Structure 1
Amino acid sequence: MELNDIIKDNLLPFLPAKTLIKFLSVSKEWNQWIKSPLLAFQQSRHFTKLSGFFAQNQHQDPSFITLDSTSYGVPMPTLNFLPEPVDLLASSSGLLVCQGRDANEPIYICNPAIMEWTTLPPPLLYHGAGAGTVLAFDPSPRNIEQRYNLICAVPILGCGNGSELSFEVYNSRSRLWRVLGNTLIEMVEDLAIIGPGFYMKGVAYWLTNAGMVVAFDVERELHEVIPLDTPPSVCVSEGVLTEMGGELCYIGLRHLSGDRYEVMIHGGMALGLQRAVEMSVGEWGCCQIRILPGFDGETVMIVGEDCIYCYGISDGSLQRKIGVGYESASASKHLAYVNSLVELV
């Protein structure tokens, strides 16, 4: 094989979307290959590195925080290629879920790297405040058609002294919504989902204001409740659900004193405290800080006033500092994003 063919066939699938789009002008052959559905499928499987975060404050346009401006990026960070202004709901493997702001509140699935989008049919339930959305998308050899599911946990109030949590699922193959018969009755008034949901290994997870985690198995369509064992001084909503060592974990943040904080990692079947790492936040300790999703197992990212700070969980040392705009840093919602060429079906 010639070097050009070796690079084209064996290297390109491991590169981010922004870099691949730059390579469209290399030759007609490369242009055709990069635009092919097969390369999009291969790239979505092989390139899984966290590329940045979509950030948004309520009723404002989204923005994009890149972890490497030369390699990761999107043409329109405000997502104004969509038909209307939108609110961010969920993300997974290069795809975003957004909700429009007009009277019908349509739901869109889009890939911001290639500005491709589709409108979903209206759901059967009203997904208002307190609902949570998870995009279940697995780029894998078993999913060459790039199919996905959208799982929505919808609180329904007025169930005696507690709240009912119903599950509604959208399947991209059938293009239909289904309200499942199994519901979760929790003896907590005004039960609500807090923060973005999390998806891994076929299971959707949500944090709730009741200090528990709701898990939903997408294939078997079964749910369970996992208690979250956190100290009273830890605000559950300021932590994130993520993956560590192939298992679900919760990472929280507790203020000790002055500029000293403690990163608390919960794991295991009961999501109990497994490790606590102390760190010093220096001169920016007076501002509001929060942990970002997208934990890679070694580095936890914390956003401050105008920077993202990357700390090693082995010793709490500062490893990297990334400057960001104040509006993006102070956003109420951050979604992890992977720069992918994945195509919608």
Structure 2
Amino acid sequence: MDRGKRSDKLVQSSNGKIYMDLKDILREHALVFLPAKSLFRFKGVCRDWKLQISTPFFAHNQSNTFHDFSGFFCQSLSGPLFFIPVDPNAHGVPDQSLSFLPEPVDIRTSCNGLLCCQSRNGDKVYYICNPVTKQWKTLPKHNADHGCDPAVVLAFEPSLLNFVAEYKLLCAFQSPDFDDAYEFEIYSSAEGSWRISGEIHFGNQFRKLIPTSGISVNGIVYWQTTQSHLFAFDLAIERSQILYGETGTLGVMDGKLCVTSIQNGVLVVKMLSNAHTNTMEMSSQVKTWKGMQRINLPKSVLEDASSSFDSRQVASARGNIIKRLVSASGNVVVFRNGNKLQFCDLKSKEIGQLSQKVNNSDLRMISYVNSLVEI
């Protein structure tokens, strides 16, 4: 009996050492899950929080933890560059026009907090920057002719082992030596140079890739084609292939490539489940895409949205009218409704409207993650 009582006292004493104060839990374990703009505001909470958020180690952890879709960098041919946040109180950048870069630029692609831009004049060089920290790097001049609207995709996967971001920039370009063929040029931050891959993809006279549709998922870059297929390039083995596609907007959800569309009033999300069905027997029951979600949209949203897509943005697939969406990443799907941008949260099924309106029909919108990643 006495030994039992002494044991209880020891357990109680040891448990008291395990528990942390709530303020310590928030500082050590919760702050890294917040977007960059919120973190800058929280520096004013107290001295401990300011010191915590200001350390390079914290920035490294935040870039590996926070991957939520935060908004768009937008640019039209006639207007200035600007940023539209999902939540103006939580997401944002200190200089949405990117005036810290040495010259005017066109936005091209983004991945996990890094933004790729290209100079408008001269050698058309690329810049990699973090709009939050205003850190930037000029890439060396590329070797091939990437064209006036390059099919360029930034591939960056944060790693706990790398305190400085290691990324690749891939551009697919029309081969100067072979008709109806694509070649590929790759920039590696680890090597600090461009290199033209030995891979050449033939037979694209009916399957031209759409330059602005590119996206990187787990080391593989995907583009949509004009024939509703997927053009894929594996950065690890430097091989390309054509996959059976779905009409819609490409995005990343739960680390998987997804395609999202609106079909007969229903928001449909499908995930790439097998990339090798095009090599299987015709009688195989294995499907390329697997349904993830189906959400019925209100009639009011559909009626308003029906007038916001012109004939170039509408395609027919098996009798269903599918409207192309602006973005589908994380748990947020964004679609254009006239001059408004509306969103659907796939978890809560909530439908809302972003704060800023868009009036340009030629607007290019690049999705962005509000990260503290170091370049």
Give the TM-score band, short-chain normalised.
0.7 to 0.9
Q: In the alignment, does 2:121 pair up with 1:102?
A: yes
Equivalent position SS for 1:33: helix
Equivalent position SS for 1:9: helix
CA contact (8 A) 2:38 2:91 kept: yes
Give the match for residue 183 of structure 1.
Answer: 200
How far apart in 2 are the matches of 1:213 and 1:190?
9
The 10-residue stretch of structure 1 (186-195 or 118-127) with the greater mean CA deviation from structure 2: 186-195
Equivalent position SS for 1:11: helix
Greater strand fraction, Structure 1 or Structure 2? 1
Letter of the 2:330 counterpart: D
For normalisation by structure 2, the TM-score amounts to 0.77
The 10-residue stretch of structure 1 (76-85 or 19-28) with the greater mean CA deviation from structure 2: 19-28
5+ residue gaps, structure 2? 1-19, 278-287, 310-322
Give the match for residue 283 of structure 1.
Answer: 304
Deviation at 1:182, TM superposition (A): 1.0
Give the match for residue 201 of structure 1.
Answer: 218
Q: In the alignment, does 2:220 pair up with 1:222?
A: no
Q: Which has the larger radius of gyration?
A: 2
How far apart in 2 are the matches of 1:52 and 1:85?
21
Give the match for residue 251 of structure 2.
Answer: 242
Give RMSD over aligned pairs.
2.9
How far apart in 2 are the matches of 1:192 and 1:229?
14
Give the match for residue 340 of structure 2.
Answer: 307
Identify which of 309, 325, 333 aligns with 2:364: 333
Identical pairs, percent:
31
How far apart in 2 are the matches of 1:43 and 1:245?
18
Deviation at 1:245, TM superposition (A): 5.5
Deviation at 1:59, TM superposition (A): 5.4
Deviation at 1:312, TM superposition (A): 6.2
Letter of the 2:245 counterpart: L
Deviation at 1:4, TM superposition (A): 4.9
Give the match for residue 181 of structure 2.
Answer: 164
Counterpart mapping for 1:1-345 below 5 A? 4-27=23-46, 29-58=48-77, 60-129=79-148, 131-156=150-175, 159-160=178-179, 163-188=180-205, 191-230=208-247, 239-244=248-253, 246-253=255-262, 261=265, 263-266=267-270, 267-269=272-274, 271=288, 274=291, 279=297, 280=299, 281-288=302-309, 290-297=324-331, 299-311=332-344, 319-327=351-359, 330-344=361-375
Letter of the 1:291 counterpart: L
5+ residue gaps, structure 1? 231-238
Deviation at 1:226, TM superposition (A): 0.9
How far apart in 2 are the matches of 1:23 and 1:277?
36
* Closer/same/farther in 2, CA of residues 247 and 283 from structure 1, 3 Å limit: closer
* Closer/same/farther in 2, CA of residues 293 and 283 from structure 1, 3 Å limit: closer
Letter of the 2:306 counterpart: G
Letter of the 1:167 counterpart: F
